Structure 1
């Protein structure tokens, strides 16, 4: 009887507890990837992420073949088909035990529970977070609802546990190069993101060695290559968050000390990633498109189809917002500062439901991840856990002047404005506005007053 390693969003051979356990026997385990394109479409997976996924699965198959492990592909349509198909696969291959990584999303957890209830022996292992959901709690055992105390407790644990990444298994006799796996789902080229063996670690090492020290200073400047750009790899599990933490601490041994500096600031972002994933497990309603803060249920959103379409197309008349949206459409990725600016503009200045923006992002992001996408949108819309106060509204012109002062990022994605001066490019006056660039969709002062009035239903005494 053999063991099976079932790969999901953990497409790597290093720092993989489930794979390590599956390889403890004398014989190599079988490996399996199950594709569910109808489920992916229900989850609004972007075609660019689907392409990256296909490339990553094939890279994984080649890495496993070197280790003497064959990766099988089981094409289904949706999660409801998984238990029966797994039973049949296990019978064919003499599998008695299945090893897999935990996933935080509700549908994925329900799928795994149905597999267990069907009678299969499924062992789940942590790995999608640095510290698993439920392990960072208050003294009374309840989960944190505020990020800063969560981060402090999270970091205190990190200082006292060994989080050295697991090595790849030693392996058996190598196999011949596997046949290509094709995923039957719409795809769009993800060639900007290399996925060969070791590529994710190369991106990580280049960041921690060359840019991490200046991360806090430069991270909000979208024209600079100042962020790690690891999010697409983390979203599909091509690299583990623990490996990211380990590399940061290797470069800066004091990275977990709460002090100004690039390493601490970047690890703070890893803490946010864990925080949102812990919330997703603790409050399943977040996987259902519900507001975390129930006061937000009273907010009256605008239908605003024309305004929503203008936002989607990068035609709002506010250059930083438009450049951000065009970056998303052209590359499948958006700078984090700009995600906040674009989300604030949609939800506060246009008063359009954050769920529409979240769905649009999910359909286009190469790094699509429910926990991060939902967490970021609800933070910007003031509907989430420890979100920005409802009265905080990003001014896209002020943000542009502060974080793209010379307009370099705007010029990259809005060539029709490239000729404008550094002063005019942030909000072109009518006399200088090109004929092919739209006027501002709203008056910022008026839209701010409208937002404060509309969101006043969320007013609390502690504000």
Structure 2
């Protein structure tokens, strides 16, 4: 008989709850432990998972296989087209290797939960599901009426109170279970893409986390909104595929900085981790957002413009608004975009071009190396005023003033929009007419007024 650890978005050996319990089970039962990852190219295509993120997963699996091999854990990589194909594939694998139990960490989105239910029904052996992806799993942070929160600030306060009652100490990496086993070359399941500059194994991710908490987090509140400055952690990609756990992030933050519920850099970065958890809870409790619907049902009645030419100009960074174009070109060229620019570019698509936020949401996922459905969906619905945000629908970012405020010298714009490199810091935000750079494709003032009218028309009667 053999035990199995089934890896999903948790590609690490440190602080992995399912791996911890699987190793303990194997040791107590004196059975071998195997590890498995199932790639799902068809599912990734359906969900617009970026090629860069697929390559990051592949690189992380190669590193993880070596780590597990040293501990006597054989690793297998299988390919199923979609989640629907996994139960039969896993049943066949279980028979082949005489599995006695399966261990895996829970995921909280609709398709993932349906997949796991189908697997548990198909297999004739115990499936042990563990909470690991979040510091506080859905259902543990509820309001006084035992209902899920719909607004971030009260959620964050309750989250912090609840966390204080929990042991959030990271788990140690399991010690060797047997003599080392050979590590094999994994068969590639995706076309190659450039992922240079991103941590591709857990040791590199932990090193980046440690460096950020030791050297940068104290200035995070002051620098995080300026894309020309390296002021953010850039740990989103590692968190998305599970090279890092949120417990590890919290533990390192606590060891290097003082958390005092203030506006210090450390507390502001902690809030970013809580935002990530909040959107996962929202997706779990309100599954309509996973199915392509707005969190605020009345906004489903908005009549979007959906001009394909405008959408393509936005995707290519050719809107005539420099900060928008710089952000979109950064995304296309690197697979990553600064968070302030994600807000600016998303607001522009919805509030200036009046294009359905779902088109932008999908495009971001198709490009981002750090794409996570819940965070991406939550961010887009926040920008589109269709989500959980408490701010009113008439908040509309002015792309020109946003550029002047957050890239005052124009350094970031010049980096990604080289046509404007010769302009001074004033002109770079409002370029003169040029054959090299497009004129603005929309009048912001008029577009803002129309956006407000579109949203006002669907507001519920109170």
Aligned equivalents of 2:199 and 2:105: distance in 1? 24
Given the alignment, which residue of 112, 115, 133 partners 2:116?
Answer: 112
Q: Which residue of 1 aligns with 2:367?
A: 364
Is the aligned partner of 1:310 residue 2:313? yes
Superposed CA deviations along residues 162-213 of structure 1, whole A, max 9, x for unmatched, are 2110010011344245122133233422122131340000110111111100
Residue-by-residue CA offset, 1:351-397 (whole Å, 9 max, x unaligned): 00000000111111101110011000000000012254210001111
Mark the CA change 1:362 to 1:187 in structure 2 (over 3 Å): closer, same or farther.
Answer: farther
User: Which residue pairs with 1:85 in the alignment?
Assistant: 89
Whether contact under 8 Å (2:202, 2:243) holds in the other structure is: no
Following superposition of structure 1 onto structure 2, how do residues 318-329 of structure 1 map, counting pairs within 5 Å?
Answer: 318-329=321-332
Number of the residue aligned with 2:63: 59
Tell me if the contact between 1:375 and 1:384 (Cα under 8 Å) persists in the aligned partners: yes
Offset at residue 457 of structure 1 (A): 2.6
Q: 345-354 or 283-292: which moved more?
A: 283-292
Match for residue 74 of structure 2?
70
SS at match of 1:345: helix
Instruction: Return the offset for 1:118.
Output: 1.6
> Superposition pairs for residues 443-458 of structure 1, below 5 Å?
443-458=443-458
| Closer/same/farther in 2, CA of residues 387 and 53 from structure 1, 3 Å limit | farther
Partner of 1:49: 53
Name the CA distance, whole Å, in 2 between partners of 1:389 and 1:183. 47
Q: Secondary structure of 2:78's match?
A: strand
8 Å CA contact 1:101, 1:127 repeated in 2:
yes
What is the CA–CA distance in structure 2 between the aligned matches of 1:429 and 1:228, rounded to whole Å? Answer: 36
Listed one character per residue, the Cα deviations across residues 1-50 of structure 1 (whole Å, up to 9, x for unaligned) are: 22110000100001111000000132441110111111111111111111
Structure 2 residue 19 is matched with structure 1 residue 14: no
CA distance in structure 2 between the partners assigned to 1:187 and 1:111 by the alignment = 28
* Structure 1 residue matching 2:457: 3-state secondary structure: helix
Mark the runs of 5 or more structure 1 residues left unpaired by the alignment. none
Q: Hey, what does 2:155 align to over in structure 1?
A: 150
Whole-angstrom CA distance in 2 between matches of 1:176 and 1:119: 27
How many angstroms does 1:459 deviate by?
3.3
Could you tell me how far apart the structure 2 residues matched to 1:92 and 1:437 are? 61
Pair 219,460 (structure 1): closer, same or farther in 2 beyond 3 Å:
farther
What is the alpha-carbon distance in structure 2 between the residues aligned to residue 186 and residue 385 of structure 1? 37
Equivalent pairs counted in the alignment come to 457
Equivalences for 1:9-408 in 2 at 5 Å?
9-24=9-24, 25-26=26-27, 27-120=31-124, 121-252=126-257, 254-255=258-259, 257-386=260-389, 388-408=391-411
Inter-partner Cα distance in structure 1 for 2:188 and 2:374: 24
Q: Which moved more, 1:158-167 or 1:331-340?
A: 158-167
CA RMSD of the aligned region, Å?
1.3
CA contact (8 A) 2:202 2:244 kept: no
TM normalised by structure 2 equals 0.96
Contact 1:295 1:457 in 2 (8 A): no
Q: Distance in 2 between matches of 1:436 and 1:6?
A: 52
Structure 1 residue 416 and structure 2 residue 419: aligned?
yes
The verdict on how the C-alpha distance between 1:174 and 1:313 changes in structure 2, with shifts beyond 3 A counting, is: farther
Query: Matched residues in 2 for 1:280 and 1:206: separation?
Result: 32
